[in-house]
Amino acid sequence: MRALIQRVSEAEVRVRGAVVGASGPGLLVLVCAMAGDGDAQADALAAKVAKLRIFKDEAGKMNRSVRNVGGGALVVSQFTLAADTSRGTRPGFSGAAAPEEGRRLYERFAEALASEGVPVETGQFGADMQVSLVNDGPVTIWLEV
């Protein structure tokens, strides 16, 4: 699985103008299940995100996790993280998991992250979503497991 993690002051996702998920200080997690991924990858990615030390401690160093700071996570499905641009200028997405499996692993990831003690809100899988955020730092981290 792949994820793009952004440390945020706030984030929200809208579908047809209505807010379907939001977070205050914490993380925006754009996540993509890749072909061949399974429960083990979803669980491992969730554990890594929960423990990722990208929040400042008292000395101003990135030494605290989202759990340590009491932050939440807005988790949004993002199949375009599977983009392959190696053959031209039009990305291919054949490396992404099939939609049914992608949905299942996206939901598994969100549940696993919540079980790690991180309050989780989500977008709507497969919908045309508008995501807004205030990136804190900015801090943006690419993860793959």
> Which tokens hold the place of 59?
């000395």
Name the DSSP class of 81.
G
Q: Is 80 part of the annotated catalytic residue set?
A: yes
Q: Is 79 part of the annotated catalytic residue set?
A: yes
Given the residues 6, 41, 78, 122, select the one marked as catalytic: 78
* 72, 120 Cβ separation under 8 angstroms: yes
Torsion sign (Cα): 126, 131, 136, 140: positive
Given the residues 80, 93, 130, 140, select the one marked as catalytic: 80
Q: How many residues are recorded in the chain? A: 145
Given the residues 6, 41, 55, 79, select the one marked as catalytic: 79
* 32, 40 Cβ separation under 8 angstroms: no
Task: Of 60, 53, 48, give the one whose Cα is nearest residue 109.
Answer: 48
**Helix runs in 28-116, H state only:** 39-51, 99-115
Tell me the catalytic residues: 78-80
